[in-house]
A and B are shown apart, each in its own frame.
Chain A
Amino acid sequence: MKKFLLILLVLSVGFQGALMAQTRTVTGVVTGGDDGLGIPRVNITVKGTTRGQATDFDGNYSIEVSSGETLVYSFVGYVSQEILVGNQTTINVVLQPDYGQLDEVVVVGYGSQEKKEITSSVVSVKPEDFNKGNVSNPTQLLAGKVAGLSVTRPGGDPNGGFNIRLRGVSTFGANSSPLIVLDGVPGADLSNVDPNDIASIDVLKDGSAAAIYGARGSSGVILITTTKAGSEQGVTDISFGSFMSIDNKVLNKMEVLSADEFVSRGGTDFGSDTDWMDVITQTGLSYSTNASVSGSFGGTSYRASVNWRKNNGIIKGVDNERLNTRLNLNHSAIDDRLRLNVNLSLTNGEYNRKNNQLFRYAMIYNPTAPVYASDRLEQVGPYFQRDLFDFYNPEAIRKQQLFGGTSKTFLTTYRAEFDILENLTVSAQYTQDRFTGLNGEYYSRKDLQTGFGNRGIAQRTTDDRFTQIVTGTLNYSTTLSDDLNMTLLGGLEQQTRTYEGFGTRVRQFLFDEFTWNNLGAGAIRLGNQTNIYSYKSRDILNSAFFRANFNFQGAYFLSASVRSESFSGFGENEKTGYFPAISAGAELTEIADLGPVNSLKLRASYGITGALPPDSDLALPIFENGGRIDLDGDVTTTDDTYVAPSQQQNPNPELKWETKKEFNVGFDFALFDSKITGTVDYYQRNVEDLLFPITVPVGAPNPFDPGNFNTATTTWVNLADLKSGGFEFAASFNGVNLGPVMWTPSVNFTIYDKTQIESLSVTDGLGFEFIRPGGSAPGSPGQNDNATIENRVGSTLGNFWGPRLLSIDENGVWTLSAEIDEIDQFEIIGNGLPKGDFGWNNSFMYGNWDFSFFLRGSFGHDLFNSFRDFYENQDTGSNTWNSVVTDKTEYITSSPQFNDTHIEDATFIRLDNLQLGYNIPTRSEYLSNLRVYVAAQNVFTITNYTGIDPEVRWVDQEQSGDAIGAALTPGIERRDTYLPTRTFTIGFNVNIK
């Protein structure tokens, strides 16, 4: 907060320095070149200042200006004009309609293209359309903004990651999030870029656009371009901004019994009255400050920025701090034929988290228990604790278990381009992408759940990822005839990724003071709750790619590309894959006059992309660490103790990439002088050779590796076929005049043809009719062995599958349609994948005010409400455990068991984002922009879902270590879900020149 005030002080000093020059009044009318009518609300600014005016309803204006200044007339949908005032007193302006949103340049893989030439499904999002407020992750900027792109983070954990899915589920595996390409660096870590430094984000949605990224393109590609230097020669731009946010707990909809209700229900009474959620939560304060300086001199331009963020969660002690610095440096020489570019980004991160089981314990812990007690001070003090299964004081867990760490990411890219000829350019790029994480865990000696019996446990781990990428490309463009232009791109790329790390866990401490900072003080380093390990792996991906673009008469476009990928992790019999794509389009308005339609481009594309195996050593027979062998069985002699080598995975030398074939048709349109623009797409994708660890006849000969035997129960193979499709629509109305207010609505929605399982077979005898993932079981207590999801050939991925609740008698005993072991009678009772997503943005401008609100939602998806499954009942556990209260069911005395009433429709609409901003007019020659704003996120949600958060669960959070299992079990709201939060932000931005 102090920082905030300081910055305000600096600003006010800046105002004092503002100078006034001699002025006079200029008047005029602004009309449209299309209809000759006056245009209301045209923005008229004095160039280089923040002074400005807007035209009235008839297009008239008047403004104070001095003769040496330049007026800038701008309005959405029209080409801006600049006019030097000189000695004119009346300036009438005719603005020409801007048909060419279409002249916009869109970043595609290994280059950029004019938007009008693009023949595949690509969406470009600019900063003005980004989500506002406390946004710390770049992909969060896009949530709801792009049809077909789903960005979700159930709950509000500031340390939680986002699940990103482009066009739904197209793979089970680890690579189900789109490939991130940051300034041309594929696979870069998102923590390398701060949202403040982003100039544009381009989303390659269909197979043909993504195919240039070959075996990493199956889940789509998101290209992030950072702001480059680029201001006028000799001018230095400085901008800074700051904001403060408060996070509040969203009203927790899962009500539990009050202490009185709990006691009268027969619960054990410990004599207090505690609201456990209140005990562990707080109002989370967050701060962010950013500053940048950019400019150019001679052939050199630069932009340097620094971004600092500190987020405090609503759970006391959960926080996240990040300091990111970035330098983009460009230099051109030899008459601009040689261009050099250096990007450096360095990020330091620090986090503290808590055991997410807190949420479950806070919900069900006995409401009559006090937080503190003195009866067991030496053992578990100062907290109240009782020794029961899965029953721990949430405040004790919060205070006595510590998790935290730091991270460093360092991304450097060096790039050189040289124009050998005017139309032939060679480029070379070298990238180092480095991530180092250092993590710690500590369980106090008094932590009843984990640390107590072990007398304290401490752990440190470090993980290091290092990626090097070398890319060389050759670009050639030529005119083949008067009507036909051709652009060719060829390139080679080598990516080497190295992963290394080590960790140690020890136990038995005399003091808690060290936490994880003195592992040497832990006396026991072997056996239960201890660990020592290190690892290293490296994989290499060699690629060659080629692309040709043709433009015939500016009306017909064709693009074709192919990429070859050789990956060290492919099996020896399948070392190289080829990923071709072709797309074509026609701009009909160039062919015929379509009246009010000023652009209509039809497109069709087909592309093949791939996905890499989740680990690079799955094809090989490898002996890893088996058991510790004490050869003489006498533990007092250790010179004969060794760790045995043991084959723990079944090799598959046939293992190769996953293949996705995608067909896309669509059209882009602009109507009424581009007042209305939009895009419509329909796609179909077929995924083949899906990578999957299948159950094999354990002990039997390995069919892929003659002479080997299955020593593990599963083998990674290219197994299943999936099919999915969808329809996407996006449109915006560029400026609707509502009197003095201008309204710009934009809407997008997607209707998914949910992912269907076409096959789960490799060959005869190796394959299945269905997979019921064990990980979909609700869990402990008592529901460890019953899968809740069935993935069956011919059905939708992730169907909930179980008995129906038929009736409940007066004693609270239920009748289910099938007993738990009558699985033949189980029915499909829901599905966690959405039928569709939508986003609806509205921005309003009024003078210097702007206001926007953004509604977002998903429909047609179900969620498994785990809280109800476990805690709606009143069984013997309920003497100590609290119960959730819902309107759906009475208290049930039957033991908790999964059934259809726990599956709920989770369709929702959410006011996701709201912002009010004011551009303060200044007359200072030093200030070009001064803006203050307030924003709110997650304002309200309308849904029938009774759980914590109706957000789509693409993956299961409890199986984060098993990407396949997590992807096969969508739609489960687990009991450890972090509480959703509502965020209010206040902030400002200043640009100084």
Chain B
Amino acid sequence: MSRFNKSLCWFAALLLVVSACKEPEQEIFSGLTPEEVSNSDNPALIDVLKASAYQRIIGNWGGHGSLWSMQEIASDEMIIAQKGGDWFDGGLWLRMHRHQYNAQDGAIESGWNYCYTAIGDINLLLQQYPDVDALNAELRVLRALVYLWLIDSYGNVPIILETDTDPTPDTNSRQEVYDFIESSVLDNIASLTTDDTKTTLNQWSARMILAKLYLNAEIYTGTAQWSAAKTQIDMIVNNGPFSLESNFFAPFATNNSGSSENILTLPYDQNNAGGFNLAQMTGHYLTQFTFDLQEQPWNGYASLEEFYNAYEDADTRKNGFLEGPQYSSSGERLMDSSAEPDDPDGPALTFTPEINELEPNSFRQAGVRVGKFEIQSGAGQSLSNDWPLFRYGDLLLMKAEVEWKLGNDAAALDAINQVRTRAGVAALTTVDADILLAERGREMFAEGYRRSDLIRFGKYNEAWWEKEASDEFRNIFPIPQGQLDVNNGLTQNTGY
């Protein structure tokens, strides 16, 4: 070997020694470090980050197994019937409907995770950008909105702030959560815009959070707050830019982003913000051909007969169901060649209000389906309709309820009759609790508030179809077992 070769060898050996003895750093190519994110000078970044926090709550609200699924199936307006083996899923949705849910149920955990994932994201942003006012106020109110769901569904939950360091946060009482939501909104509302932003929080939707909180205050804390609720409601009704659409279905249309009725929406979009899968969840397999859907629907969610029959025939809102004979987009009768031999409708696909049984062998065609949200022809799994979390029609019924509670029947009738007139049904002359609850049911079907309404009106524990009377502790869901297992600061709700 030449001297050159030798020294080259020694040099190579030295290089190996030096590099092999180093502790190597991990390079990141397809992601960003927190520093890279915060060092960005892109003027759109903050707006994008803020919208990203909203997307966490857009995520799974309108999908199967969501917090919304829990609200609907536990109420008297929807079921998922068991069709032989199909849709049994360990009895989860039967238990949900019969108020036998337990801490191990998957949906109980995914509802929780949905809320707290958003809270983690919000806290991370608040922690990283403490000085960006535009972000600060809005994210705190957004966090309050998530806690509004938590207080309603789970009751006693840990309040986690961006400044907290305890990795196993303790359960807070429902009263503490209530106070936290209230103060979060009150402390930050002045920093919010009054523009009709619809997809992001503004002063109007912040007041709506307060209105919902005060409306249910008696349930949440034992102390009613009817006049506080009225204050917030009136503020929106009198000063806000919202009005009833003349067409009841306009707020639920595919292109509903400009609807004057919607106060706060989750801006679903088939391409940008997926997760609104209602057409899949409710449609029969053959419904694919009614709307030329890209995917075969799952034949799950249907309404209860009694609930459907609570509509007068003249009620335009009754068109918010897929009912009766079903046709393809080209007008041919859809035929289900495998219809159960004892199904009186035979193979011609017909959604009947009557459901033969909840389990185990519900007919596959049985039950009217959710048609309130427009199903766009040719849609994929995700629909593009923006989901109205808060809308003016709801607000009017809240006003009616509050006014009635405060003894102002005339004002209550005025509010409720605006809604009824729009629906094409006769104005009421008297009002009481049953009337208010029934009207809320017809107006708010499938919007995720029925469970909460039933509880507020004291009906949640009563018996209805395929559901016996339930204990009061069922009014809040259990804390998911998976979370109890990893956080000894949590306390299970009473009764579970």
* A619 pairs with B85, CB closer than 8 A: no
* A453 pairs with B288, CB closer than 8 A: yes
Known: A528-B294, A708-B124. A820 touches B90 (CB 8 A): yes
Known: A645-B32, A697-B169. A627 touches B58 (CB 8 A): yes
B26 is contacted by which of A620, A703, A774, A878 (Cβ under 8 Å)? Answer: A620
Q: Per-position contact with A for B269-303: 1 when CB-CB < 8 Å, else 0?
A: 11111100000000001101100111110110000
Known: A620-B33, A633-B199, A634-B257. A628 touches B271 (CB 8 A): yes
Query: Is B52 in the interface zone, CB < 8 Å from A?
Result: yes
A417 to B49, CA, bound (A): 57
Query: Is B360 in the interface zone, CB < 8 Å from A?
Result: yes
Query: Is B331 in the interface zone, CB < 8 Å from A?
Result: no
Query: Is A514 in the interface zone, CB < 8 Å from B?
Result: no
* A897 pairs with B121, CB closer than 8 A: no
**Chain B residues near A620 (CB, 8 Å)?**
26, 28, 33
Query: Is B352 in the interface zone, CB < 8 Å from A?
Result: no
* B100 pairs with A821, CB closer than 8 A: yes
**Chain B residues near A706 (CB, 8 Å)?**
165
**Chain A residues near B123 (CB, 8 Å)?**
699, 709
B16 is contacted by which of A448, A470, A764, A895 (Cβ under 8 Å)? Answer: A470
Query: Is A765 in the interface zone, CB < 8 Å from B?
Result: yes
Query: Is B47 in the interface zone, CB < 8 Å from A?
Result: yes
* B106 pairs with A619, CB closer than 8 A: no
| Chain B, 56-98, CB within 8 A of any chain A CB | 58-59, 82-92, 95
**Nearest A-chain residue to B92, judged by Cβ:** A785
Query: Is B245 in the interface zone, CB < 8 Å from A?
Result: no
Q: Per-position contact with A for B33-45: 1 when CB-CB < 8 Å, else 0?
A: 1101100000010
Interface segment among B181-189, B201-209, B436-444, B479-487: the answer is B479-487
* A700 pairs with B89, CB closer than 8 A: no
Among B31, B44, B381, B489, residue most surrounded by chain A Cβ atoms (within 10 Å): B31
**Nearest B-chain residue to A492, judged by Cβ:** B20
**Nearest B-chain residue to A772, judged by Cβ:** B104
* A821 pairs with B90, CB closer than 8 A: yes
> Which DSSP category, helix, strand, loop or mixed, fits chain A's interface?
loop
* A617 pairs with B85, CB closer than 8 A: no
CB of B372 to closest CB in A, whole Å? 22
* A528 pairs with B382, CB closer than 8 A: yes
A700 to B295, CA, bound (A): 38
A529 to B378, CA, bound (A): 13
A878 to B269, CA, bound (A): 38
Query: Is B434 in the interface zone, CB < 8 Å from A?
Result: no
B28 is contacted by which of A270, A540, A617, A630 (Cβ under 8 Å)? Answer: A617
A338 to B31, CA, bound (A): 47
* A616 pairs with B199, CB closer than 8 A: no
CB of A340 to closest CB in B, whole Å? 12
A620 to B337, CA, bound (A): 55
* B44 pairs with A700, CB closer than 8 A: no
* A879 pairs with B124, CB closer than 8 A: no
Known: A266-B341, A711-B121, A785-B106. A538 touches B269 (CB 8 A): no
**Chain B residues near A703 (CB, 8 Å)?**
167
* A765 pairs with B486, CB closer than 8 A: yes
**Nearest A-chain residue to B297, judged by Cβ:** A389
**Chain B residues near A617 (CB, 8 Å)?**
26, 28, 31
Interface segment among B111-119, B232-240, B417-425: the answer is B111-119
| Chain A, 760-802, CB within 8 A of any chain B CB | 764-769, 774, 777, 780-786
* A781 pairs with B87, CB closer than 8 A: yes
Query: Is B488 in the interface zone, CB < 8 Å from A?
Result: yes
**Chain A residues near B299 (CB, 8 Å)?**
389
**Chain B residues near A765 (CB, 8 Å)?**
167-168, 486-489
Query: Is A569 in the interface zone, CB < 8 Å from B?
Result: yes
A774 to B105, CA, bound (A): 11
Known: A387-B288, A527-B380. A700 touches B487 (CB 8 A): yes
A566 to B24, CA, bound (A): 7
* B83 pairs with A628, CB closer than 8 A: no
Known: A695-B482, A698-B116. A633 touches B257 (CB 8 A): yes
Q: Per-position contact with B for A614-657: 1 when CB-CB < 8 Å, else 0?
A: 00110111111011111101110000111011110000000000
CB of A687 to closest CB in B, whole Å? 22
Known: A453-B293, A453-B295, A786-B89. A527 touches B106 (CB 8 A): no
Known: A538-B29, A701-B164. A707 touches B127 (CB 8 A): yes
A784 to B51, CA, bound (A): 33
* B486 pairs with A768, CB closer than 8 A: yes
* A713 pairs with B113, CB closer than 8 A: yes
* B52 pairs with A644, CB closer than 8 A: yes
**Chain B residues near A781 (CB, 8 Å)?**
84-88
* B124 pairs with A711, CB closer than 8 A: yes
* A568 pairs with B160, CB closer than 8 A: no
Known: A617-B28, A623-B32, A647-B121. A896 touches B85 (CB 8 A): yes
| Chain A, 446-462, CB within 8 A of any chain B CB | 448-449, 453-454
* A645 pairs with B85, CB closer than 8 A: no
* B55 pairs with A627, CB closer than 8 A: yes
**Chain B residues near A493 (CB, 8 Å)?**
20
* B31 pairs with A700, CB closer than 8 A: no
Query: Is A163 in the interface zone, CB < 8 Å from B?
Result: no
| Chain B, 466-483, CB within 8 A of any chain A CB | 482-483
**Chain B residues near A539 (CB, 8 Å)?**
24, 26
| Chain A, 553-605, CB within 8 A of any chain B CB | 566-569, 575-576
**Chain B residues near A767 (CB, 8 Å)?**
486
**Chain B residues near A534 (CB, 8 Å)?**
30
Known: A492-B21, A870-B85, A895-B88. A537 touches B165 (CB 8 A): no
Query: Is A710 in the interface zone, CB < 8 Å from B?
Result: yes
**Nearest B-chain residue to A704, judged by Cβ:** B167
Known: A428-B12, A628-B271, A782-B86. A697 touches B486 (CB 8 A): yes
Known: A537-B30, A620-B33, A633-B257. A576 touches B20 (CB 8 A): no
* B55 pairs with A629, CB closer than 8 A: yes
Known: A641-B272, A823-B104. A785 touches B90 (CB 8 A): yes
Query: Is B447 in the interface zone, CB < 8 Å from A?
Result: no
* B34 pairs with A695, CB closer than 8 A: no
**Chain A residues near B49 (CB, 8 Å)?**
644-645
Known: A528-B382, A633-B199, A783-B89. A645 touches B52 (CB 8 A): yes
**Chain B residues near A628 (CB, 8 Å)?**
271-273
**Chain A residues near B316 (CB, 8 Å)?**
none
Known: A575-B23, A620-B26. A453 touches B296 (CB 8 A): yes
**Nearest A-chain residue to B106, judged by Cβ:** A785
Q: Per-position contact with A for B229-267: 1 when CB-CB < 8 Å, else 0?
A: 000000000000000000000000000010000000001
CB of A588 to closest CB in B, whole Å? 41
Known: A529-B294, A879-B340. A542 touches B124 (CB 8 A): no
Can you report 15 A-B residue pairs in the complex whose CB atoms are below 8 A from each other? Answer: A387-B288, A388-B338, A428-B12, A453-B295, A492-B20, A528-B270, A528-B382, A536-B30, A541-B24, A622-B32, A623-B34, A627-B59, A698-B483, A782-B87, A895-B82
**Given known contacts A538-B29, A629-B47, A697-B169, what 17 new A-B pairs fall within 8 Å (CB)?**
A386-B337, A389-B86, A528-B380, A537-B29, A542-B19, A623-B31, A627-B273, A629-B52, A629-B272, A698-B117, A700-B164, A708-B124, A710-B120, A785-B89, A823-B104, A878-B84, A895-B88
What is the interface of chain A, defined by CB distance below 8 A to chain B? 266, 268, 270, 334, 338, 386-389, 391, 426, 428, 448-449, 453-454, 470, 472, 492-494, 526-529, 534-544, 566-569, 575-576, 616-617, 619-624, 626-631, 633-635, 640-642, 644-647, 694-703, 706-713, 764-769, 774, 777, 780-786, 819-821, 823, 870, 873, 875-880, 894-897
Nearest 6 interchain pairs by C-beta: A528-B380, A699-B116, A644-B52, A703-B167, A786-B90, A875-B84
